[in-house]
Structure 1
Amino acid sequence: MTNERRVLVHQNKQALASSVAARFITKMVDILHEEGEANVILTGGSVGIAVLAAINESAARDTIDWARVSFWWGDERWVPRAHPDRNEGQARTALLDHLAIPAANIHPFSASDEGLSLSEGAERYAADLAELAPLGALLPRFDIAFLGVGPDGHVASLFPHGAGIRENEASVISVLNSPKPPSKRLSLTRPVLNSSDRVWMVLAGSDKASALGLALAGASRDEVPAAGIKGRKRTVFFVDNEAAAEVPESLIAPSY
């Protein structure tokens, strides 16, 4: 089994979102044909949500049998369920509410107004993951994990020099002191993200160029968490021209 890391560069954010959406639809049809069902980890952020909106707008959207696709999240802000900052709500508006998909296939994190503490929210999501894992496993088989990358190199809510990026045992962690507000969050851990067959990182803008360059140049995962995330089969960075400014030429793929 190979593990490739490649960078695909697009002219701008709009072209990036459209390209990733088209690739996702094509790949999902293939996965469903081969595996019968699929599990996808979603991300928030402007680019991640733009990709979901582009999937929804695609004429090929309904070539996917959405009843056989389950959605999870890489992280979530600890705010009320209806809060506009929740990744879940943004994903529903952009894509999920438009699909013929059973409610049971959508697996959001708990919210701050549901009577749970932050740590209990983490425990509940870990239990959900384990419950829907194949016999003998602790996690579902993830086919694609979408991730954004922050200007500091963070992915999900795993931040530089934080305990989260070093967590190797738990599947879900509670974050109490996120350097990016809100301070309280829930996040999948690095081993869970790395269990996905494919990691697709989507990022745009000149403020991401340094983090991307460092991640690809071999920075430590403590310094640049994105450097420690690799899919089991393939890791692809989908970026725009501005974010690619510091990417080594040898890693830029002419095609995929």
Structure 2
Amino acid sequence: MTGIQGAVKTVVVEPTPAALAERVADRFLTRVRARTRNGRIAHVALTGGSMGGAVLAAVAEHPRAKKIDWSKVHFWWGDERFVELDDLDRNSRQSRQALLDHIDIPSENIHEVATPSSGVSLEEAAAGYAADLARFGDDDQPWPSFAVCFLGVGPDGHIASLFPDRVEVTVTDAAALPVHNSPKPPSERVTLTRPVINSSKRVWLVMTGADKASALGLALAGASYASVPAAGAKGRKRTVFFVDEAAAEQVAPELIDRDY
């Protein structure tokens, strides 16, 4: 049954980006609370972008955030720009400002990609990130299974730093990859691979704006993941597209989940 659920892609629609951020934040806190209340660890993969930051800010402001035992939560990123910690392009900088700096969480629970000033190459940063992931996996799956994996989606259908018609989206024998000459700046990045993303219990794709409507339509229609990487993202239990009305203009009504 879990596999069937995960294969079905559903869409949750809110009228505005602000309302969407609040709904995702509420669902996120529900899932984290359910996962951690009996002492279990929750691994979470975050995303950047305006909606990634908006969701985390809404989490920080939510009354139930204070009831979470954040020591049981580990945060990762689906991708990271190979820039310094204080660079405006750094996804982790945005996440810290929006949420992580405002909750009581051990520093070792925040798993960041290395920076250029740490003295490593891009390839070494990707290898180090994969090694960190492997500490929470096993021989068969050398990475944790994320309770929630957040993904943004670009107008071109890219997720994390897996861009259309590039080799990274087809790699299955690594957990993290260096990305050179990214189609979207900054040019150097580290990204999780599809096997890591798709081993997540829940994959939540958050997207707003009319410029995302085409990518959403293609992802829901089952386009080739090599050409539309968002089409290949799926959680083992749930795959949910959280979108605003502008992004949902091409969505068939039967795909909209009004209760999730």
TM-score under structure 1 length normalisation: 0.97
Contact 1:81 1:112 in 2 (8 A): no
Q: CA deviation at 1:240?
A: 0.1
What is the letter of the counterpart of residue 57 of structure 1?
E
Instruction: For structure 1, list consecutive stretches of 5 or more residues without a partner in the other structure.
Output: none
C-alpha deviations, 1:183-226, integer Å up to 9, x for none?
11100001100010000111100110000001101110011100
Q: CA deviation at 1:134?
A: 4.9
Question: Within 1, Cα distance between the matches of 2:138 and 2:74?
Answer: 14
The answer on 1:100 being equivalent to 2:88 is: no
The answer on 1:209 being equivalent to 2:223 is: no
C-alpha deviations, 1:13-49, integer Å up to 9, x for none?
0000000001111111111135611000000000011
Which residue of 2 is the match for residue 130 of structure 1? 134
Question: Within 2, Cα distance between the matches of 1:28 and 1:121?
Answer: 28
Which residue of 1 is the match for residue 81 of structure 2? 77
Q: CA deviation at 1:254?
A: 1.7
SS at match of 1:122: helix
Which residue of 2 is the match for residue 158 of structure 1? 162
CA RMSD of aligned residues (A): 1.2
SS at match of 2:45: strand
What is the letter of the counterpart of residue 83 of structure 1?
D
Contact 2:178 2:189 in 1 (8 A): yes
Question: Within 1, Cα distance between the matches of 2:248 and 2:39?
Answer: 34
Q: CA deviation at 1:136?
A: 5.8
Question: Within 2, Cα distance between the matches of 1:116 and 1:32?
Answer: 35
SS at match of 1:211: helix
Contact 2:39 2:72 in 1 (8 A): no
The answer on 1:223 being equivalent to 2:238 is: no
Which residue of 2 is the match for residue 62 of structure 1? 66
Which residue of 1 is the match for residue 256 of structure 2? 252
Q: CA deviation at 1:133?
A: 2.0
Which residue of 2 is the match for residue 116 of structure 1? 120
Q: What is the aligned counterpart of 1:233 among 233, 237, 246?
A: 237
Question: Within 1, Cα distance between the matches of 2:140 and 2:20?
Answer: 38
C-alpha deviations, 1:36-63, integer Å up to 9, x for none?
1100000000001100000001111111
Runs of 4+ in 1 over 6 A off after TM superposition: none
Question: Within 2, Cα distance between the matches of 1:221 and 1:162?
Answer: 11
Instruction: For structure 2, list consecutive stretches of 5 or more residues without a partner in the other structure.
Output: none
Q: What is the aligned counterpart of 1:44 among 45, 48, 51?
A: 48
Q: CA deviation at 1:135?
A: 7.1
Which residue of 1 is the match for residue 10 of structure 2? 6
Question: Percent identical across equivalent pairs?
Answer: 54
SS at match of 1:113: helix
Change (3 A) 1:136 1:170: closer
Q: CA deviation at 1:81?
A: 2.0
C-alpha deviations, 1:126-147, integer Å up to 9, x for none?
0001122257641112110000
Which residue of 1 is the match for residue 196 of structure 2? 192
Change (3 A) 1:137 1:164: closer
The answer on 1:88 being equivalent to 2:92 is: yes
Change (3 A) 1:162 1:35: farther
